[in-house]
Structure 1
Amino acid sequence: MQEKDYIKGRGAQYNPQNIYKKDKYTVDYIEAIDDWEVENNKTIFIPSDAKSLVHKVDSPDVSMMYSANPYQGCEHGCIYCYARNSHQYWDLSSGLDFERKIIVKENAPQLFENFICRKGWHVTPIHLSGNTDCYQPAERKFRLTRRILEVALRYKQPISVITKNSLILRDADILEEMAKHNLIKVFVSINSLTEETRLRLEPRTATASQRFRVVEELSKRGVPMGVNVAPIIPGLTDHEIPAVLKETAARGAKWASYIIVRLNGQIGEVFKDWLTHAYPHRADKIWHSIESCHDGKVNNSNFGLRMKGSGKIAEIIRDNFRLHCAKNGLNKEIFEYNCAGLPKAVSTQLTLF
């Protein structure tokens, strides 16, 4: 890929073929096509009247039990994002389409309220951003996440959030109020302090300094905060673990977790194409380091291994992470959500308005 062909501000550099589509088209002789137009690089928002929002997560190595995602696709453009594969269910591509064609579930707040007001609902934490970031740039305009949090506070529904966007500070007033009732825990993903690395890996996310500002400001307001050092990419970001964890504790976070990158489904293809352009002289070393953490592949789907990996490099990462968590006093407290909810009579009254 030539420098002039590189699409700045995007992670993926092309659209791989959707695996669920049999037909495809290519440009072989562009001069022979009279009405050919190069696809616009601007983001397109696609409104959706969704049928459901909250889904049960059946995975033994993921702490969330229920997940809700008001947006499908994510303009952040993180090249490694596992959610890219899911864009193919919408008849789109896991590459550029995932970053440029964002599906907006306009009825998400109402679907959320309908779900937690069900007669048989036993109050359980619901995770926002289980698939795509609920505070991605689209949220500034559509405000679906804020409206969901307003519903959660009203019904005393516990929520967990993970994000890479400082836009979450807009909702500090709601988060602070939820924290008073033990209804919220927030994690911020930070895998590198190097701005050049972030711009390549996660082109439209907040800077590391902005994310740490989120940790610090929300911590001061009493919101339980953690940092997810994820994904750790061996050969590229693993050396930054000590510095990230030191800053995590300094900014007031109480917990830290990590995930080793895994390139499941079509993501391996998209990632490798990006890697050869972003780090041409280190591409092979980084690729083989990832393989060494997944038994010679770039993904291991087995529960218990897919997130943390296996082998020598994965063990070094694990031990280094644990050591620096201990040195910085992280993961010493246990957080318990308030799952009492509202009294049924009050909850029923609220649904009438």
Structure 2
Amino acid sequence: MDTGSTSRNRPAKGRGAVSNPDGRFERLNRDPYDDGWAAEEGIPPLRTTVRIEQCRTIIAHNDSPDIPFDQSINPYRGCEHGCVYCYARPSHAYAGLSAGLDFETKLFAKTNAAERLRAELARPGYICRPLALGSNTDPYQPIERRYRVMRQILEVLSECEHPLTIVTKSALIERDLDLLAPMARKHLVHAFVSVTTLDRSLARRLEPRAAAPARRLEAVQRLAAAGVPVGVMVAPVIPALNDHDIENILERARAAGADWAGYVLLRLPHEVKDLFREWLARHEPLRAEHVMSLVQGARGGRDNDPRFGVRMRGTGAVADLIGNRFAVACRRLGFNEEERELDCTRFRAPVAGPQLALF
């Protein structure tokens, strides 16, 4: 038996990806080789490491026509939640790292994010538009408990009365209710909790270090009770794996106080398609072929369709059925009936640097 079957195909406890393939920009490919020692010594456990990153800018801009925001902040690179389907995994290749296990174990914390944010908001030409947090990696992943980068960002935005949206799978968002609740009363924040499945066993394998499904619904309830407008994201919807849970998730979220709902069909860009296939072969071997057949049916015969306008929802009979089911459930439960606008008129630019305002 070679090391490929031990290091590349043995699931690491508490991790989502099965393997750690080389980044797509690397010039060299490395193949493991079993010299006989690994079986005797055992494979050492994977540990999370965090590298401090001093970023030069913190607000990212995009002009994608199918994304409902044009500027965002990501406090961290990589994500310890380990969701095997995460579309952000390929971004680790830009750091010379793997989209596999590296993405969930070798993390970057932007510890000067609040400082950079204050400077960028203070620029004379800055135009206030809602900032999206959690659009790439989760701002409330486990390392946030130690580094508190998200907390520091919220403190700046609260001080400046700047509107924002948050997407998370973590109940750690409750820690910041002292900031979020007053901002909500000023129409400055919308929160969205992502719930992929109600099946604890499936969730543990799909997204091993994210909060349990019931705990996320409890976070929805606590946000709503504090007056924070909260929605639920059923994302991603994976045909023949979690799509049967759509209506149940929406019903539970509505009962918890969510008033907005959205969904995204599974996306498999770049390395993610191979990582997901590996995951299926390991965790759902009897359904693997059927799942990928339905995914391809919704993606024009391919594993992924990156075109704007269809990448979030897919095309074809399977995609249409999922979309229709979701729409019917939302109408029945009363989701998305009220348009909630964030208030950009309250924004006050911060004072950059140590100089205080004159008045």
Q: TM-score, structure 1 length as denominator? A: 0.95
Closer, same or farther: CA 283–336 of 1 in aligned 2, 3 Å: same
Shift of 1:349: 8.5
User: What residue is the counterpart of 2:183 in the other structure?
Assistant: 178
Counterpart code for 1:24: N
User: What residue is the counterpart of 2:64 in the other structure?
Assistant: 59
Query: Does the residue aligned with 2:219 lie in a helix, a strand or coil?
Result: helix
User: What residue is the counterpart of 1:272 in the other structure?
Assistant: 277
User: What residue is the counterpart of 2:151 in the other structure?
Assistant: 146
Counterpart Cα distance in 1 of 2:54 and 2:351: 25
> Given that residues 78 and 108 in structure 2 are in contact (C-alpha distance below 8 angstroms), is that contact kept between their aligned partners in structure 1?
yes
The answer as to 2:176 corresponding to 1:167 is: no
User: What residue is the counterpart of 2:134 in the other structure?
Assistant: 129
The answer as to 2:43 corresponding to 1:48 is: no
1:7-86 maps to which residues of 2 (within 5 A)? 7-31=12-36, 40-86=45-91
1:352 to 337, 351, 355: 355
1:237 to 229, 236, 242: 242
Shift of 1:40: 4.5
Query: Does the residue aligned with 1:256 lie in a helix, a strand or coil?
Result: strand
User: What residue is the counterpart of 1:305 in the other structure?
Assistant: 310
User: What residue is the counterpart of 1:88 in the other structure?
Assistant: 93
Q: CA RMSD in A?
A: 2.0
2:199 to 174, 179, 194: 194
Shift of 1:352: 2.8
Counterpart Cα distance in 2 of 1:2 and 1:89: 27
1:113 to 107, 118, 121: 118
Counterpart Cα distance in 1 of 2:60 and 2:102: 24
Query: Does the residue aligned with 1:162 lie in a helix, a strand or coil?
Result: strand
> Given that residues 123 and 341 in structure 1 are in contact (C-alpha distance below 8 angstroms), is that contact kept between their aligned partners in structure 2?
no
Query: Does the residue aligned with 1:198 lie in a helix, a strand or coil?
Result: helix
Counterpart Cα distance in 1 of 2:89 and 2:348: 40
5+ long unaligned stretches in structure 2: none
Counterpart code for 1:12: A
Alignment length (residue pairs): 349
Deviations 1:279-315 (A, max 9, x none): 0111100111111110111211111100000000000
Shift of 1:122: 1.1
Shift of 1:180: 1.2
Counterpart Cα distance in 1 of 2:351 and 2:140: 30
Closer, same or farther: CA 58–331 of 1 in aligned 2, 3 Å: same
The answer as to 2:296 corresponding to 1:288 is: no
User: What residue is the counterpart of 2:338 in the other structure?
Assistant: 333
Query: Does the residue aligned with 1:30 lie in a helix, a strand or coil?
Result: coil
Closer, same or farther: CA 107–24 of 1 in aligned 2, 3 Å: same
Shift of 1:58: 1.5
Query: Does the residue aligned with 1:257 lie in a helix, a strand or coil?
Result: strand
Deviations 1:315-336 (A, max 9, x none): 0000000000000000001011
Counterpart Cα distance in 2 of 1:267 and 1:348: 42
Counterpart Cα distance in 2 of 1:245 and 1:185: 18
Counterpart Cα distance in 2 of 1:239 and 1:197: 13
Counterpart Cα distance in 2 of 1:278 and 1:2: 16
Query: Does the residue aligned with 2:337 lie in a helix, a strand or coil?
Result: coil
Counterpart Cα distance in 2 of 1:32 and 1:176: 56
Counterpart code for 2:128: V
User: What residue is the counterpart of 2:213 in the other structure?
Assistant: 208
